[in-house]
Amino acid sequence: MILSISLLKKKVNMILNIDLFLKLIIRNYRTRNSLSFLKKVFLDKYSKVKKDQFKLLISTSLSGHIPCSSFECFLGVVLRRKSVNVEYLFADDALPACMMCEFRQNKNLSQFLEENHTNNRCGSKNKFVEKSLKNLNFGIHQFKEYLSVIEIEFAKKTSTEILLKDINKFCIRGIKLGEHAWSGTLRYFAKGTLDLNENNEKVLRRFFEASILTMIAVENLIKKHKFDCILLHHGIYVPQGVIVDVAKSYNIRIVTWHTAYRKNCFIFSHDDTYHKTMLDENCSHWERINLTPKKEHKIKNYLQTRWYGNNDWINFQNAKFFDKFSIENKIGINFSKPTIGMLTNVTWDAQLHFKNRAFKNMSEWILETINFFKVNKHLQLLIRIHPAEITGTIPSNDKILNIINKNYKVIPKNIFIITPESNISTHSAMSNCNSVIIFGTKMGIELSNIGIPVIVAGEAWIKGKNIGFDANNKEEYIKLLNELPFKNGLNHNQTIRSLKYAYHFFFRRMIPLPFVKAKKGWPPFKINFQNFENEFKNDLGLKVIIDGILHSRPFIYDKDKID
């Protein structure tokens, strides 16, 4: 239903509701007159940008990814109102594969592998997002505009001729095309490893071709148009990970973003995906925090709510069993014996190359650990398989329990497993352990806060923070296991250090935007606030984001320091 012009003008002038912008412009206002009017009301006073003004490319790439495209439309409006020259980049249907492709939606592999098949979820079916932004005076770029026939043929030829064994490490000028293709393929199949049969290899080569096309298109774009910064979601997989690498090779600043764990919060990072920046973050950003009693109470209270997920919009478990004796009865373990916890991750998630990794993948880590405990029968190993294997946005097709059963016909009696569908509380189970071994989970932050020693074998974000016990290779890992059980938990100073990092991670690195509301279903949030003019001027989270994008300031929400 089309609102009258007078009613719309009243709503826009009084509210300037961005949710109305996203919902009505992109979905309902399809007439030329309506778009012209909205352009005048929303953006005309901000549309005249000077050549020397800050030029930002928002590389949404996948207009069919509704949460990302809607949030980045919102950011574009906000930044345009700051007189930023904002332009958008869309992959359109130029790529043979991208992170919108998933095996569960393309189970007919032969259809996905057709010569001329492209992913329509982010192509022609979503043209109106691009058309609407263009009609609102945003510069729009599409991959196809920056790909010649010769370059398309080069990408196809290269992707088919490179030897299979060489794809994973294939680089051009430091751009890790093979790594992004490989991680994108693992995500497509929702697996941590890949059996390279004929069809699987074809899928990998499609992602490889898409990586090459992305590199060429983005290079051609930034040679023709000079950008001060490129903003994009995720910063990994295809095409986003490739775009990050290309921008770095041309010394263009990068800002990546992702939804955070706390409701209504986002994580922004400079120069790389948060999967890497959280590992490499300088400890000086948090270790000098004045952890007042008020702050200590705040973080402890929040961490307790994570047992139930009340304040998070990313929560994978519906826990019902919390007490020690119920857990013992359900799985047959005896917590009076020395027990070591082990927390897995989803095998396919963020499979990138990380420096100082002790194991080539999580499966190798799990089997190596079980082998150790198989011999050391005086210790109990309690393995908690991540609930997201079955409840995540992309359920895993590579089940940890299957990996274990494939390698052990009989599971050693001192090894106990909590399956992903179990409603035993992960927090409760691990809190009864002498220590916990992790690979990449964020639970290491929470466990160290209650004094439990944590051994880090992978890319968990407490690594390098002098909080956990880091293993940079297999030898260091086995040496740490040989010290188990630990005689003592973390001391007071170690626990305080852990609390400082937890406060920093959950309340400073996660930037709240109160007008972004969590909701059930897809997309998982909506932008819906009633007084945009006041929110825009006064919201501290938005100020941190804008200052970070425009002035390279840290994406840290610190109320004590924000002007």
Please state the rounded mean pLDDT for residues 345-366. 79
Q: What is the pLDDT of residues 427-444, one digit of tens each?
A: 999 999 999 999 989 899
What are the boundaries of each domain within the chain?
Answer: 1-42, 48-259, 320-490
Q: What is the pLDDT of residues 378-401, one digit of tens each?
A: 999 999 999 989 877 788 888 999
Residue 492 has pLDDT above 50, yes or no: yes
Residue 13 has pLDDT above 60, yes or no: no
Please state the rounded mean pLDDT for residues 354-381. 90
Return the pLDDT at 14: 34
What 8-state DSSP symbol labels residue 125?
G
Please state the rounded mean pLDDT for residues 303-309. 89
pLDDT band at 33 (very low <50, low <70, confident <90, very high): very low
**Least-confidence region, from 160-169, 303-312, 419-428:** 303-312
Half-sphere exposure (CA, 13 Å, Cβ side) for 312? 16
Neighbours of 251 (CB within 10 A): 6
For the domain spanning 48-259, the CATH number is 3.40.50
Q: Which residue has the higher pLDDT, 143 or 106?
A: 143
| Single-letter amino acid, residue 243 | I
The answer to whether the beta carbons of residues 294 and 399 sit under 8 Å apart is: no
Please state the rounded mean pLDDT for residues 290-313. 91
Please state the rounded mean pLDDT for residues 236-262. 96
Residue 530 has pLDDT above 60, yes or no: no
SS3 226: coil
Q: What percent of the chain has pLDDT over 90?
A: 62
Tell me the C-alpha distance between 320 and 329, whole Å. Answer: 14
Q: What is the pLDDT of residues 395-422, one digit of tens each?
A: 888 899 999 999 999 999 999 999 999 9
User: pTM here?
Assistant: 0.89
pLDDT band at 15 (very low <50, low <70, confident <90, very high): very low
Return the pLDDT at 293: 96
Neighbours of 215 (CB within 10 A): 23
CATH class of 320-490: alpha beta
Please state the rounded mean pLDDT for residues 154-175. 94
Cα distance from N-terminal residue to C-terminal residue, the chain: 43
pLDDT band at 106 (very low <50, low <70, confident <90, very high): low
Q: What is the pLDDT of residues 447-485, one digit of tens each?
A: 999 999 999 999 899 999 999 999 999 999 999 999 999
pLDDT band at 102 (very low <50, low <70, confident <90, very high): confident
Cβ neighbours for 397, distance < 8 A, ≥ 6 positions apart = 103, 189, 190, 191
Return the pLDDT at 28: 35
Q: What is the pLDDT of residues 258-283, one digit of tens each?
A: 999 999 999 999 999 998 999 999 99
Return the pLDDT at 515: 82
Q: Which residue has the tokens 């890319």?
A: 459
Return the pLDDT at 428: 95
239 burial via Cβ count (<10 Å: 0-12, 13-18, 19+): buried
Please state the rounded mean pLDDT for residues 341-348. 92
Return the pLDDT at 329: 95
Residue 118 has pLDDT above 60, yes or no: no
Q: What is the pLDDT of residues 211-237, one digit of tens each?
A: 999 999 999 999 999 999 999 999 999
pLDDT band at 321 (very low <50, low <70, confident <90, very high): confident
Average pLDDT, the chain: 85
Tell me the C-alpha distance between 361 and 394, whole Å. Answer: 19
Return the pLDDT at 1: 41
Return the pLDDT at 40: 47
Q: Which stretch, 8-12, 192-196, 327-331, 515-519, has highest mean pLDDT?
A: 327-331
Residue 183 has pLDDT above 50, yes or no: yes
Q: Which stretch, 20-34, 301-315, 346-360, has highest mean pLDDT?
A: 301-315
Tell me the C-alpha distance between 274 and 86, whole Å. Answer: 23
Do 48-259 and 320-490 have matching folds?
yes
Structure tokens that stand for 120 in this block? 């329509």
Tell me the C-alpha distance between 256 and 271, whole Å. Answer: 7
Tell me the C-alpha distance between 182 and 188, whole Å. Answer: 10
Return the pLDDT at 195: 83
Return the pLDDT at 126: 57
Return the pLDDT at 257: 97
